[in-house]
Structure 1
Amino acid sequence: MINIKVKLPGLSLKNPLMPASGTFGFGDVSAAEKFDLNELGALVIKTTTPKPRAGNPQPQIAVLENGVLNSVGLTNPGVDQVVSTKLPDIKKKYPALPIIASVGGESSAGYVEVAQKLAASKMVNALEINFSCPNVAQGGMSFGVHPELVEKLTAAIKVAVTIPIYIKLTPNVTAIGEIARAAEAGGADGLSLINTVMGMRINIKTRKPLLGNNFGGYSGAGVKPIAIYQINQVRTATKLPIIGMGGIESAEDVIEFMLAGANAVEVGSAHFKDPLICPHIADELPAILAKMGVADINDLVGQIELN
């Protein structure tokens, strides 16, 4: 019997797969209606901020040949609406599904406010603290590139809530291990990485960028080598659990991420190709692990053999 269950702080996952924040909205987008979400390891909901956000100018998404550019800008109804309406709707439909809520803000106080309200709802199992969004003018990545701010804000959130917190790291830094250690020093229960890489594409006919915000976050298969490298760097810097993401499209990709040091994974851009990518990968994992002679998927974590 091949085990693909994963245990992380606050989370008992039937498999290591979850849709990345924003991918399935609040469980209320069309992709989330295509299968029983109980087949997921967990659901990561869209990043929530203190007040409603309309997001960035359209177009917000450009699907490319080897990835996706997005500049959504954390569109969401605000934390009070999420707690009063969005989360109850998810819990009513999927009472046993582990929920990770993504926390955003434009200030330290904003992050703490959202984290407190989401945790107090008793409807989420863990928080993913989005210190790394490249698509907002304030907050997000401006926090995530400074180790001292990461440590201080992580500590403030940790004091304010009782459920586990996972700090989402930006790849747009020169020493991601230093940021990871800062999050650990602040009391983080885990880490998630990588968020999107800054990118831009231009329509040569109009000479205008493809995105309404001019630039945005690039994700998909093209960033996978960056993600694997940075996950491995973080794994050498800390023993904290890691939720890895960045270009995962197959069961083999999941195994590669886990060998690099991830304990579980989030899948984002691959949903544009296959809305059922998470259950499809979960179905494929046991046979591939059996061929590898691996009885427990957790035994793969960090087992890369460097030259």
Structure 2
Amino acid sequence: MKLPGITLNNPVMPASGTAAYGQELAQQLDLEALGALVIKSTTAETKVGNAWPTTAHTTGGWLNAVGLKNPGIEVVLEEKLPWLATHYPTLPIVGSVAGATEDEYVTVAQKMASAANVALLEINISCPNVAHGGLAFGTDPVVVEQLTRRIKAAVDKPIMMKLTPNVTDITVIAAAAERGGADGFTMINTLTGLSFDLATRQPLLANGTGGLSGAALHPIAVRMIRQVRQQSRLPIIGVGGNFSAEDVLEMLIAGANAVQIGAATYGQPTACTDIIADLPAVMEKYGIDSLQALINQTLADVAPAEKA
């Protein structure tokens, strides 16, 4: 199976941020077993992130407000990506790009795309847009289309726009990204949530609100993937509440071409490879001979007709 710029041995990869830049995860599992490795969202300069506590467990899943903590693109280019190239030269790498302004996005995307072992860029457009009052880039279709077009014109590698669910209609945002030249979508990012400590009456996170991840996101992500698939034939990487091989198959049925595993790795670092190992038996149980055939059938049944 394929994504723009990448041939996958299987459809499973870790979600951005959950595997950092691979070194820690490599101590827990064989990275070569992954369909691809998505590295942590990276900005132009080093970011120390938000004050502690940055994560909290709730009845609905995990809240996190890490604040895009990362070493900056120069360190990633000089240290992190070369380490991956040396130790895992055939592993497909997806470079996650973030920024606070359009110019920062373009700069980081250009530099990330210059790395020989980065095959595909994932553009995290859930970041606060400093130039537009702090709202996430991904909530304004005009901004999404413009940002997508600028990045696409600046790089020579495919780009997947990572869509936020914190909008009234995600299909409007997806359509804007497609008009801007996106090669596909990653969806969905976390939902904004808030939880309180009953003893102190204070939020559990120092930041107050945070992004909710976990099993509660799965049916929401499945619904949104199906909505976007009904209007677009672009490749989709599905993410949100994937904890099992059954979850993966459901996302493929909804319209995804591949999947990412996020919150499941918090308590089970080997979640990705465990799910990959479970897939054949679960496919057999449900009479699925080929994942690619399943994806193709969804495209034939759900996606709009290809343009002549």
Matched residue of 1:76: which SS? coil
* One-letter amino acid of the counterpart of residue 130, structure 1: N
Q: How does 1:21-32 map to 2 (within 5 A)?
A: 21-29=16-24, 31-32=25-26
CA contact (8 A) 2:129 2:135 kept: no
Alpha-carbon shift at residue 272 of structure 1 (Å): 1.8
Counterpart position of 1:15: 10
Counterpart position of 1:264: 258
Residue 286 (str. 1) matches residue 283 (str. 2): no
Alpha-carbon shift at residue 142 of structure 1 (Å): 2.0
CA contact (8 A) 2:123 2:159 kept: yes
Match for 1:84 among 78, 81, 88? Answer: 78
* One-letter amino acid of the counterpart of residue 17, structure 2: G
Match for 1:51 among 34, 45, 49? Answer: 45
Distance 2:129 2:264 in 1: 27
Sort the Cα spacing of 1:221 and 1:249 in 2 relative to 1 into closer, same or farther, 3 A. same
Tell me the alpha carbon deviations over residues 45-103 of structure 1, each in whole angstroms, 9 at most, x when there is no partner: 00000111111111111133441100001001111111111111111111110000100
Distance 2:203 2:11 in 1: 36
Deviating more after overlay: 282-291 vs 41-50: 282-291
CA contact (8 A) 2:138 2:163 kept: yes
Distance 2:180 2:194 in 1: 34
Residue 195 (str. 1) matches residue 189 (str. 2): yes
Query: Which structure 1 residue ranges, 5 or more long, are not aligned?
Result: 1-5
* One-letter amino acid of the counterpart of residue 119, structure 1: A
* One-letter amino acid of the counterpart of residue 67, structure 1: G
* Structure 1 stretches of 4+ moved >6 Å: none
Alpha-carbon shift at residue 33 of structure 1 (Å): 1.5
* One-letter amino acid of the counterpart of residue 250, structure 1: S
Tell me the alpha carbon deviations over residues 102-135 of structure 1, each in whole angstroms, 9 at most, x when there is no partner: 00011111000000001112220100000014xx
Residue 152 (str. 1) matches residue 146 (str. 2): yes
Q: How does 1:112-127 map to 2 (within 5 A)?
A: 112-127=106-121
Distance 2:214 2:292 in 1: 24
Residue 252 (str. 1) matches residue 246 (str. 2): yes
Deviating more after overlay: 217-226 vs 60-69: 60-69
Counterpart position of 1:111: 105
* One-letter amino acid of the counterpart of residue 40, structure 1: L
* One-letter amino acid of the counterpart of residue 217, structure 1: G
Distance 2:95 2:220 in 1: 25
Distance 2:6 2:60 in 1: 32
Tell me the alpha carbon deviations over residues 236-277 of structure 1, each in whole angstroms, 9 at most, x when there is no partner: 121100000000000000000111111100000001232111
* One-letter amino acid of the counterpart of residue 169, structure 2: A
Match for 1:96 among 90, 93, 116? Answer: 90
CA contact (8 A) 1:244 1:257 kept: yes
Matched residue of 1:109: which SS? helix
* One-letter amino acid of the counterpart of residue 244, structure 1: G
* One-letter amino acid of the counterpart of residue 237, structure 2: I
Alpha-carbon shift at residue 295 of structure 1 (Å): 1.7
Deviating more after overlay: 282-291 vs 16-25: 282-291
CA contact (8 A) 1:131 1:141 kept: no
Counterpart position of 1:36: 30
Counterpart position of 1:3: none
Alpha-carbon shift at residue 141 of structure 1 (Å): 5.7
Counterpart position of 2:235: 241
Sort the Cα spacing of 1:141 and 1:232 in 2 relative to 1 into closer, same or farther, 3 A. farther
TM-score normalised by structure 1 residue count: 0.93
Query: How large is the RMSD of aligned CA atoms in angstroms?
Result: 1.7
Query: Which structure 2 residue ranges, 5 or more long, are not aligned?
Result: 303-308
Deviating more after overlay: 136-145 vs 16-25: 136-145
CA contact (8 A) 1:141 1:170 kept: no
Alpha-carbon shift at residue 299 of structure 1 (Å): 2.3
Aligned residues between the structures? 298
Matched residue of 1:188: which SS? coil
CA contact (8 A) 2:129 2:137 kept: no
